[in-house]
Structure 1
């Protein structure tokens, strides 16, 4: 499985219709959809598809034809996403009608090609499940833990400074969690604890 961590954009033209394709992390999809509606008020359609995990680690898929003939735009985009095993992403395609009807087969090809183009232009990274680990360190340990987080590229989502120490919220994979807890266990007597 693969994912993206930033926005990617491409444009193709098919029989005078223009297709602008946007691939983004799932967290950014809703706001991007609103932005595209505002920036492209004259667009004929904004088609989309998304794939993400629910709380049970099951893949959830959804798509919209946004007024195109049923099944000619959203499903082809979703199929391309499935083909490259994209997860935790949204793909939106803004279409400007060029005056020539593409027919159902032409629409399927155009939307599928748009999805393939933006995915080819994207930097795909392997998808890894992550969880939030909450722990606390006494103030004398903070520099050691900051150094560890930097050296091991841990994503520190939040740090709360309290009177007796710092509460850390780390977004961490299974492998990172094991390594981190092995490191942190050396400091349990000095003020480290998992919350």
Structure 2
């Protein structure tokens, strides 16, 4: 599976209708959708599709036609995400109607084409599952733990200080989590 770590954009014009597509990490999907709706108040449609892994490692998918004929836009966009085996991403496509009806087939092609176009512009990265791990160490071991975390570039979500020591909350690949478990 592949994913992305930043937003990508692409545009396409089909019979005077303008399609602006954004490939987004799922973590910022809702925020980006709200922002785009504010920045494009005159747009006719905001078609969406997304795929992400939930905490049970199950793929959750969804799409919206946002007023386009049923099955003509959101579902074809989702199929493009599936076809590229993308995870933890979403696509938002903004359409400005150009005055010429495209028909269901034309809409399917246009939304699929602009989704493929934005994906072709993206730097896709291999997806690796992320795990969260927390542990507590005495203050006398923190220097060793901090050195190990920095050396292995392990992502620290939080450090909580107490009277006895420091509780670390880490989020990283299983390989890096297992490395830290070995030194504890």
Band of TM-score, shorter chain: over 0.9
Q: Distance in 1 between matches of 2:123 and 2:143?
A: 33
**Residue 164 of structure 1, CA deviation:** 2.5
What's 1:188 paired with? none
Query: Residue deviations 1:86-143, cap 9 Å, x none?
Result: 1111111011111222111111111011111111111211111122100122233333
Gaps of 5+ in 2: none
What's 1:69 paired with? 69
**Residue 169 of structure 1, CA deviation:** 0.6
Gaps of 5+ in 1: 186-195
Q: Distance in 2 between matches of 1:121 and 1:151?
A: 33
TM-score normalised by structure 1 residue count: 0.89
Following TM superposition, the consecutive aligned residue runs of length 4 or more in structure 1 with deviations greater than 6 angstroms are none
**Residue 8 of structure 1, CA deviation:** 1.4
What's 1:43 paired with? 43
Q: Distance in 2 between matches of 1:142 and 1:118?
A: 45
Q: Distance in 1 between matches of 2:163 and 2:126?
A: 40
Q: Distance in 2 between matches of 1:7 and 1:154?
A: 24
Aligned to 2:153, what secondary structure does the other structure show?
Answer: coil
What's 1:110 paired with? 110
**Residue 16 of structure 1, CA deviation:** 1.5
Q: Distance in 2 between matches of 1:85 and 1:12?
A: 23
**Residue 65 of structure 1, CA deviation:** 0.3
Q: How many residues align?
A: 184
**Residue 55 of structure 1, CA deviation:** 2.9
What does residue range 36-185 of structure 1 map to in structure 2 within 5 Å? 36-182=36-182, 184-185=183-184
Q: Distance in 2 between matches of 1:5 and 1:148?
A: 25
